[in-house]
Amino acid sequence: MPAERLSMRKIRELLRLKFEHQFSNRKIALSCGIARATVSDYLNRASQAQLSWPLPEELTDESLEAIIFARAEKVPLSSRPLPDWKQVREELTRKGVTLYLLWEEYKKTYPEGFSYTRFCQKYRDFSQTLEPWMTQSHVLGEKCFVDYAGMTVSIINRTNGEIKEAQIFIAVLGASNYTFLEATLDQSLSSWISSHIHAFEFFNGVTALLVPDNLRSGISKAHRYDPDVNPTYYEMAKHYGAAILPARVRKPKDKSKAEVGVQGIERRILAPLRNHQFFSLRELNEELFRRLKAYNQRSFQKLEGSRESQFILLEQSALKPLPTQAYVISEWKKVRVGMNYHIELNQHYYSIPYRYTGKKLEVRVTHNTIECFYKHSMVACHVRSDKPFSYTTVKEHIPESHRAYLEWTPEKISNWAANVGAHTQVFIEKLMQERAHPQQGFRASLGILRLGKRYTDERLEKACKRALAIGTLRYQSIESILKNKLENQPLPSLSSESHTNIPTHPNIRGANYYHTTRSLL
């Protein structure tokens, strides 16, 4: 027994000052208010017990006291019983199990066994004999490491001989090392998300964490402490009840499982395919899946079983179940609402409540829907349309003063024009037909009909007749004819050949205009 029995708190402080701050025995004695001989005695006991610093968090005062005040072990190291290190490694994959807990259980069975520090060192020595991807122990069902292989596989187009390099997506479960792989045409966001969905279906479950490398498809902005996860990737993970834990920049241990998994796939599957020819993505994936099955069933060298057997025996039951429906792939975009309270997506226009005019929105685009959000609240939802230069408009999105616009139709405007005259009706119909979409000609048509109120319908009818004769379909042309009183002038007698070669433009008036102007003077 030491000359002075210290409390556990003071013993912990003594060890902290020695190993963390490198204080001398004299300084420690002054700081703790004890004799230097006592400091020396406790440090010798800690050395004999092979205690390491910092002490394990789970090391209780009772356990520390037992270690410090235990009698020196008389059993030679070579004669002390060894644990089953394979079983120790397997137990470490279970949630909440630590080396300290396993050592306590070991000491209960073998009181003369190794100290905790020696136990840990022996396990590290055992781990070094395993293949690199086995050295880290991961909790069952906790992590899935995802990445693309550095190697690609060529796909040849039978028709034109064009060669495309297929990208190889790889997902590795942390505890069992059960592996999934899939070839895609690119590393786009859509391919990245689709491969995750296929991996979850292959595993028939989901891990609590997804660990990607800082890939642009999944991580919008790489950062050591707070990487910016792509909104679509985040939404997909949320749908499956998983969290995303990106590998830190310049921290290879964070992604070692993925990197070694990629290395194994490249050596065992991709490299042997280097001289094979593939003519479709489907053909390549069929061959990859066939070889993947053999890869997962390949026996371990240092442990019993295989990736597949470890997955079935241990990890499969620890995965979260799949949701009832697979995630629907979406894409998030940021857009600004135009002054006409519409947003533009892929050359189609969707209405937004007019009070959001000029605001920036986040838009979720799926195969079937367009969902618009302002500050995380949905403000509009539309069925997706791929018709270019067209409008999808909800009446309630438009201010009261503009809602009459919704009542306009090509038929109604044509009927209004017919009330003026046959030439006016033909002119208006041709004007709307000339536009990519009839609605784009509504305002011009109504503007022309309003000219009848200013100049009379009779003059408007004659002006439309003249405009049709000279081949112009613009509001400015009708306005110019009426303003300059040209509707009663004789129509130009031009041959069809020469007429077709003259460009139509509101500023090109023709010879008859100048003749008329001179006579008026």
Q: What is the average pLDDT value for the chain, to the nearest integer?
A: 80
Are 476 and 371 contained in the same domain?
Answer: no
Same domain, 439 and 379: no
Of 66, 6, 67, 65, the C-alpha closest to 33 is: 6
Q: Are 356 and 336 found together in one domain? A: yes
Same domain, 300 and 229: yes
Residue count (the chain): 521
The answer to whether position 134 is within a domain reads: no
Weakest mean pLDDT among 143-147, 165-169, 440-444, 481-485: 440-444
* Cβ contacts of 89-95, under 8 Å, gap ≥ 24: 89/123, 89/126, 89/127, 89/134, 89/137, 89/303, 90/314, 92/137, 93/137, 93/138, 93/139, 93/140, 93/175, 93/314, 93/315, 94/139, 94/140, 95/139, 95/140, 95/142, 95/318
Q: What is the CATH number of the domain that holds 148?
A: 3.30.420.10
Q: What angle do CA 170, 174, 180 make, to 5 degrees?
A: 25
Do 195 and 274 belong to one domain? yes
Candidate from 89-98, 154-163, 351-360, 367-376 with smallest mean pLDDT: 89-98
Q: Of 142 and 518, which is predicted with more confidence?
A: 142
Q: Are residues 41 and 61 in the same domain?
A: yes
Q: What is the pLDDT of residue 518?
A: 35
**Spatial contact of 327 and 239, defined as CB atoms under 8 Å apart:** yes
Give backbone dihedrals phi and psi of 15, rounded to 5 degrees, phi first. -65, -35
Block residue for tokens 């073998």: 110
Provide the residue type at 297 as one letter: Q
Domain finish residue from 259, 290, 318: 318
Tell me if residue 185 falls in helix, strand or coil: coil
Q: What pLDDT, on the 0 to 100 scale, is given for residue 359?
A: 92
The answer to whether the CB of 337 falls within 8 A of the CB of 345 is: no
User: What count of Cα atoms within 13 Å lies in the side-chain half-sphere of residue 135?
Assistant: 12
217's tokens: 């498809």
pLDDT-derived band at 290 (thresholds 50, 70, 90) equals: very high
The whole domain housing 375 covers 331-402
Question: Domain boundary residue among 402, 426, 457?
Answer: 402
Residue from 137, 212, 231, 218 nearest 170 by CA: 212
Residues 6+ apart with CB under 8 A from 71: none
Secondary structure in 3-state letters for 148-182? ECCCCEEEECCCCCCEEEEEEEEEEECCCCCEEEE
Distance in Å from the first CA to the final CA of the chain:
131
Domain contains 434: yes
Contacts of 196 (CB under 8 A, 6+ apart): 146, 171, 210, 236
Write down the pTM of the prediction. 0.53
Neighbours of 27 (CB within 10 A): 15
For residue 324, tell me if it sits in a domain: no
The alpha carbon torsion through 312, 288, 198, 217 (nearest 10 deg) reads 120
202 pLDDT above the threshold of 90? yes
Domain boundary among 289, 318, 347: 318
Helix pair angle (36-48, 25-32), 10° resolution: 110
Q: What's the 3-state SS for 439-470?
A: HHHHHHHHHHHHHHHHHCHHHHHHHHHHHHHH
Asked if omega into 54 is within 30° of 0 (cis), the reply is yes
pLDDT score for 339: 80
Do 263 and 199 lie in a common domain?
yes
Strand segments (E) across 31-128: none
Same domain, 159 and 306: yes
The count of domains in the chain is 5
Closest CA to 257 of 356, 410, 107, 135: 135
Residue 3 lies in a domain: no
| Residue 263 and residue 120 in one domain | no
CA angle 107, 97, 297 (to 5 degrees): 110
CB 133 within 8 A of CB 260: yes
Please choose, from the candidates 175, 180, 259, 186, the residue with its C-alpha nearest in 3D space to the C-alpha of residue 209.
175
Lowest mean pLDDT among 37-41, 89-93, 134-138, 516-520: 516-520
Domain annotation covers residue 323: no
Minimal CA–CA distance to 176: which of 138, 146, 222, 124? 138
What per-residue confidence (pLDDT) applies to 502? 42
Residue 379 confidence (pLDDT) above 90:
yes
Tens digits of residue pLDDT in 489-500 = 887 664 444 444
Answer yes or no: do 262 and 279 share one domain: yes
2, part of any domain: no
Residues 150 and 297 grouped into a single domain? yes
DSSP for 287-353, please give it: HHHHHHHHHHHSBPSSSSSBHHHHIIIIIGGGSBPPPSSPPPP-EEEEEE--TTSEEEETTEEEE--
- Whether 25 maps to a domain, the answer reads yes
Strands (E), 209-299: 209-212, 219-221, 228-229, 243-244
Q: Note whether residue 248 is domain-resident.
A: yes
Tens of pLDDT, residue by residue over 407-422, are 677 888 888 899 999 9
Is there a single domain that holds both residue 241 and residue 267? yes
In this predicted structure, what is the pLDDT of residue 76? 56
Out of 115-129, 177-191, 331-345, pick the least confident.
115-129
